[in-house]
Structure 1
Amino acid sequence: MSDLDVLSYYLGIDVRQRKEALTLDQSVYASKLLERSGMAECKPCVTSMEERLKLTKVSTVARVDATLYQSIIGGLRYLVHTRPDITFVVGYVSRFMEDPLEDHWAMVKRLLRYVKETVDQGNVFPKTSGSGLQLTVFSDADMTGDIDRRQSTSGVLVFLRSAPILWLSLK
């Protein structure tokens, strides 16, 4: 076995190891995904999805190329590894991979415009000098948000950050 030096790139993920933090991002991969989808020169967008948007599998709008749709969704699913901000929207548009319609594709294009706006974002893991870690978890669910199957969508957000150790006395 040989030492290949410090990890800097792995499976499309750029790894930057500095004294103060470890950074993971997929900006090159995201740019290639935008090119592959024909959205490299699109106008950027600051939100990934319209508020309160509900899509259905039953519609009268035209169908789109399912192979292209599935390919782009697959690319977005891989991008989620370093972009947790798009996880919900990618999961939502993944529901329509079997038979994508124009309004589904419009939502994917909106998401790609958001990716264009935030292409340089990634995960930053600050290095700590040891005093302990604090775990914070948030969860939420929409009640029967899927109008086709009448099922709920839930999500979880987990933060693990350095925090002082608290000693409690239970006397």
Structure 2
Amino acid sequence: MAARFRMSDLGALSYYLGIEVRQGKEALTLSQSAYALKLLERSAMAECKLIVDGLRYLVHTRPDIASAMGYVSRFMEDPQEDHWAAVKRLLRYVKGTVDQGIVFPETDKSGLQLTVFNDADMTGDIDGR
């Protein structure tokens, strides 16, 4: 007996895996405002590793914190007080920019165009890997 599957149109995508999707006439915006607010609520926890892992997930739509995340992630094995201070500073920045996200503006009348570049062979570059 063959299985039958039904698909239904649920409308425009608005939320997926914790990422908020706003589709406007002039741009598509990806953000994680609700997730960032939840992370800020949990920031009173003394366990630095959990906070850093949460911030790492936030980088998906917040490339502006990627560099700071790379720095604080180095010290997850043995975090000291100054590392925790850096994480708290980063959390204060997130609080002030909680509605930030990635915006893909419409470039012309033909609709949204997304161009992505990737260097998958970074280890092949002896000087800059």
Give TM-score scaled by structure 1 length. 0.59
Q: Is 1:15 the equivalent of 2:21?
A: yes
Could you tell me which of 58, 61, 68 is aligned with 1:89? 68
Say yes or no: does 1:69 pair with 2:48.
yes
**Runs of 5+ in structure 2 lacking a partner?**
1-6, 118-127
2:32 equivalent to 1:26: yes
Instruction: Kindly report structure 1 stretches of 4+ aligned residues shifted beyond 6 Å.
Output: none
How high is the sequence identity, in percent, across the aligned residues? 71
Task: Establish whether residue 37 from structure 1 lines up as the match of residue 43 from structure 2.
Answer: yes
Counterpart of 1:19 in 2: which secondary structure?
coil
Structure with more strand by fraction: 1
Between Structure 1 and Structure 2, how many residues are aligned?
Answer: 111
- The CA deviation string for residues 62-93 of structure 1, in whole angstroms up to 9 with x for no partner, is xxx5xx21111111011001110000000110
CA distance in 1 between partners of 2:51 and 2:10 (Å) = 33
In structure 2, the residue matched to 1:116 is 95
The reply on whether 1:105 has 2:84 as its aligned counterpart is yes
What displacement does 1:19 show? 1.1
The answer for unaligned runs of 5 or more in structure 1 is: 40-64, 138-152, 155-171
> Distance between the aligned counterparts of 2:28 and 2:44, measured in 1?
32
Per the normalisation by structure 2, the TM-score is 0.76
